[in-house]
Amino acid sequence: MRGRLGISRMLLCLCILVCMQTVHTSFFHSDNRGPTPQYSPIVIIPGDGGNQLEAKLNKPPDNTGCPLKKDWYRLWLDVWSLRGERLKCWADNIKLVYNATTKQSRNVHGVSTRVPGFGLTSSIEYLDPSWSAWVLADAGNYMKKLVDYFVGLGYKRGKSIVAAPYDFRFAPHSQTQYFTALKRLIENSSRLNGNKKVTLMSHSMGGLFGLHFLQRQSSEWLQTYIHRFVPISCPWVGAVIQFNTYASGYNLGISIVDPKIIREEQRSYETGVYILPHPHNWPHLDENIVVTPYRNYTVRDYNSFFTDIGFEQGIDMLDNVVNITRLEHPGVKISNIYSHGIDTPTGLIYDNGFPDEQPIRRILGDGDGTVTLKSLTYIQRLLRPGEGDSEFYVSGVNHGDILKNQQVFQYLQNILTL
């Protein structure tokens, strides 16, 4: 989740290259032992909350005591804004407003947002580059180590390794402009790197966005521009922890964050319902996922669940996104990467405090700590090993740390070779 090649190392490499009279044969290095492999350019789609998001405020007067005017600033992620009274202001600025008539969502009135760094890697390497995030166990570090690894192989930020950040609050049906820009970025990346085919790499929910995008391209375009699709830790049929988010709010284990304060904001995202366990594709449709003293809920019970937690709007929002991304082969080679061996929520048990209080216990199963193994591996049924599809997994690595894992990096290096 971080990266930069040191100046001294660059100078040392330059001296060695000059002394050995090396010749550059591609956009990567070669030496007198023969040319090193040529690699596919990389375009990265980050996961949910996996890139920076900026905001500008010009809000009408209110009685909240929150700032009403502010020039462009980092809305996500700024860990300082998640503390104390600032949390309420932050949650109100980042939430969406849903229109049941148009079936569309928008920002709160007076809040403008934009996604910085499209085509660069800066907004995915560090979500929060500030010292306060570093103090909190380097909380802002997302893909820095992954990008650094490939820069060490000769990749160039902004040229042969680029990112396609997006407003992760909006589901694919609201992302027409984003997917147009993504297509253009892939074509430009190929052109800038000797017309090499591009690897579309993703993390977490970004895998669903990548699949959605690829399924809507022509076979000719895919064969011209795509080397391979590499989803990492993708929740193919959803994540159980999303039930926690909708019922009582989920603070990701950050003790300073009150989950009830951010619950409304979390419920407002289109992508919240997008990554709920899928009501048709979940491996065990009659499995109790939410258990309460009053009744239990399976993925067949979304209407009752949303009604009982006082969020009937969720029924409509789920209907809008449930069939957006088809779990079908995209027509390019796939390498599915995931981790397992970590206790992962497969069910939630509440007491009489449901839905406002946190679950008293979580039923745990195998997965990466966030996504269950069933969801991570659901795509196995689509893979075509005889046509170049593959999968790779590691054990004991959590959902985020898989982006810092050397075994994963080495595997990626192998499949990126042209």
CA–CA distance, 412 with 407 (Å, rounded to integer): 9
On whether residue 269 sits in a domain, the answer given is yes
Same domain for 390 and 367, yes or no, is: yes
- Report pLDDT for 138: 73
The one catalytic residue among 204, 248, 335, 339? 204
If asked whether residues 158 and 188 sit together in one domain, one would say yes
Outline where DSSP puts E strands in 368-414.
390-395
Total domain count, the chain: 2
Domain annotation covers residue 25: no
Please report, rounded to a whole number, the percentage of residues in the chain having pLDDT higher than 70: 91
Active site residue 29: no
Mean pLDDT across 202-230 = 98
The more confident residue out of 255 and 318 is 318
Q: Report the b/e string of 146-174 with b at 16+ CB within 10 A.
A: bbbbbbebbbebeebbbbbbbbbbbbbeb
Same domain as 194, residue 100: no
CA-to-CA separations, 150 to 131, 385, 411, in angstroms, rounded = 25, 26, 12
Residues 47 and 57 in one domain: no
DSSP assignments along 134-153, one per residue: HHTTTTTBSSHHHHHHHHHH
pLDDT at 163 over 60: yes
Active-site hit among 329, 368, 375, 389: 368
Q: Do residues 84 and 206 share a domain?
A: no
- Which residue among 97, 114, 131 closes a domain? 114
Residue 21 has pLDDT above 70, yes or no: no
Query: Does residue 134 sit in the same domain as residue 279?
Result: yes
Using alpha carbons only, what angle is made at residue 211 by residues 277 and 372, rounded to the nearest 5 degrees? 30
| pTM of model > 0.85 | yes
Question: Is 128 a known active-site residue?
Answer: no
- The answer to whether position 316 is within a domain reads yes
Instruction: Report the pLDDT value the prediction gives residue 32, as an integer from 0 to 100.
Output: 40
* Residue 105 shares a structural domain with residue 209: no
Select which of 212, 329, 340, 399 is catalytic. 399
Residues 347-365 have pLDDT tens digits of 999 999 999 999 999 999 9
Look at residue 368 and tell me if it is in a domain.
Answer: yes
Residue 28 in any domain: the answer is no
Q: Please indicate, yes or no, whether residues 398 and 270 belong to a single structural domain of this protein.
A: yes
Query: What's the mean pLDDT when you consider all of the chain?
Result: 91
CA angle 272, 339, 211 (to 5 degrees): 50
pLDDT, tens only, 281-292:
999 999 999 999
The pLDDT value given to residue 135: 64
> Helices then strands (H, E): number in the chain?
15, 17
Last residue of a domain, one of 84, 114, 144: 114
Which residues in 234-265 are b (16+ Cβ under 10 Å) and which e? bbbbbbbbbbbbbbbbbbeeeeebbbebbbeb
204 is catalytic: yes
Q: How many whole angstroms separate alpha carbon 340 and alpha carbon 365?
A: 10
Query: Rounded mean pLDDT of 195-215?
Result: 98
**Of 114, 149, 166, which residue constitutes the final position of a domain?**
114
- Residue 164 domain-assigned? yes
Query: What would the mean pLDDT of 123-138 be, rounded to a whole number?
Result: 82
| For range 300-323, the mean pLDDT | 97
Q: Is 3 a residue whose pLDDT tops 50?
A: no
85 and 180 share one domain? no
- Residue 232 sits in the same domain as residue 98: no
Helices 144-153, 406-415: inter-axial angle, 10-degree rounding: 50
For residues 107 and 161, state if they share a domain.
Answer: no
- For the chain, helix, strand, coil in percent to 5 are 35, 20, 45
- The CATH number of residue 201's host domain is 3.40.50.1820
Residues 190 and 215 in one domain: yes
Within a domain: residue 322?
A: yes
Which phi and psi (to 5°) does residue 413 adopt?
-60, -40
In a domain, 27, yes or no: no
Question: Which contacts (CB < 8 Å, 24+ apart) does range 187-193 have?
Answer: 187/225, 189/41, 189/43, 189/159, 189/160, 189/162, 190/41, 190/224, 190/225, 192/41, 192/159, 192/160, 193/27, 193/41, 193/159, 193/160
Q: What is the pLDDT of residues 182-200, one digit of tens each?
A: 999 999 999 999 999 999 9
The residue segments making up the domain with residue 338 are 7-20+38-51+118-415
* Chain-centre distance for alpha carbon 372: 16
